[in-house]
Amino acid sequence: MTNDKGAQLRRDIGFFGAAFLVLNAMIGAGIFALPGKVAVNAGLLSPWLFLVVGVVFLAVVLTFAELASYFRDSGGPVLYATYAFGPLAGFGTGWILFLSRMTAFAANANVMAIYLGSLFPWFGEGVGRTAVISLVTLGLTYANILGVRDGVRTMGFFTILKVLPLILLVLLGLQHVTAGTLIPSASDVIGDLGGTALLLIYAYVGFETMAVTAGETAEPRRVLPRALIRTVIGTGILYFLIVLVFISVISADAYAEATLVDVGRMLAGPVGAIAITLAAVFSIGGNLAGSMIAAPRLIFALAENRLLPAWFGNVHPKYATPDHAILVMGALALVMALTGSFVELAVASSLSRMLSYNVCIASLPVIRNRAGEEMKARAYRIRGGYLVPFVGLAICLWLTAQANTQNWRTVGILLAIGLVLYAVERRFVRR
């Protein structure tokens, strides 16, 4: 495998561009949907659980920072798995990442309906919910077939639009924080720690987007670790403060059904509710658009590399977009969004991500040993040998083990479909 293609790409992404990429990928629907659901199991420990999970998860982030720095090509996890373990592993990792983004899209579409329903109840259930999810999914599918033009500056603008209301929510809500909510008592416990952590991690996944664009990042050895670490830490602190305000404002018996819109309404009346709803729409809309751009191109790339049937690699003759891959993404996401709940889909997405992370972290020792002098010279090396990657792998394996039978059934069926397509391409089509 060579790594020369990346040298032809323009390295226009600097620190702030990389930070915006990571921030936009992580802050989607998770923080808007999770506080109440986590608080049901963790209560006053919820803010600290968000913070601790984020800090511990840095072991995974640091491992990805080193992995990304070895390669000049864009491609991220697919590249690492293929380089270390061969095409089947590369295909499996790419397909699983596609599944994670597809199920995340479906989960986030549900959250958009929930937030619109908080202001206009018709959108929150029944026909209204179906209409919102269908229009958003079909609209983004159609728009992506016609062509997409986006840039880091535009993404940064929308990232600010969704983060600013959250910061204002924190500033208004801190006055309601008491010693009792900030410092839980010894009697506070977390119910179903593993399942809650697997759901909560949904708010942190997506950082690997930056690794995918490593081939277009200026000075990846320096920029990637800084952008990843600082953005994840900053996001973890923001999550901590948001959830702290949530449990300080919302009563315990209302955790299950409450959203940040309710917090905004209690802090600033109708204006606060509208501001948080708009923040959620901007956040979720941007995240959905990003997923609809990125996910189809994963299976398109697999088809181009003859790991999926050529049909998936079709390019529209007029719009020059991967139209078949986009249609597959749109169709699967729509079915999943209409038939699944946010929690089910979010856990399925998190489980898929953990499976791909396991493969990527396991590839690091192989890549370290195989890397030539040029690759080693440009690589960011984690201190402490294999201690950090080992911790990261242990975390991902533990989270993977928390999935229940239903979660495994959903991911297993979708993974099996991909493996069948891979077998068809490799055994019956490829010459």
pLDDT the model gives residue 430? 56
pLDDT the model gives residue 239? 93
pLDDT the model gives residue 254? 92
CATH number of the CATH domain containing 121: 1.20.1740.10
pLDDT the model gives residue 119? 79
Split into its structural domains, the chain has a count of 1
pLDDT the model gives residue 1? 44
Residue ranges for the chain with pLDDT beneath 50: 1-9, 12, 150-152
pLDDT the model gives residue 16? 62
Q: Name residues whose C-beta falls within 8 Å of residue 251's C-beta, 6 or more positions apart in sequence.
A: none
Q: How far apart are CA 160 and CA 36, in angstroms?
A: 24
pLDDT the model gives residue 391? 94
HEC per residue, the chain: CCCCHHHHCCCCECHHHHHHHHHHHHCCCHHHHHHHHHHHHHHHHHHHHHHHHHHHCHHHHHHHHHHHHCCCCCCCHHHHHHHHHCHHHHHHHHHHHHHHHHHHHHHHHHHHHHHHHHHCHHHHCHHHHHHHHHHHHHHHHHHHHHCCCCCHHHHHHHHHHHHHHHHHHHHHHHHHCCHHHHCCCCCCCCCCHHHHHHHHHHHCCCCCHHHHCHHHECCHHHHHHHHHHHHHHHHHHHHHHHHHHHHHHCCHHHCCCCCHHHHHHHHHHHHHHHHHHHHHHHHHHHHHHHHHHHHHHHHHHHHHCCCCCHHHHCCCCCCCCCHHHHHHHHHHHHHHHHHCCHHHHHHHHHHHHHHHHHHHHHHHHHHHHHCCHHHHHHCCCCCCCCHHHHHHHHHHHHHHHCCCHHHHHHHHHHHHHHHHHHHHHHHHHCC
Q: What residue numbers bound the domain in which 253 lies?
A: 5-429
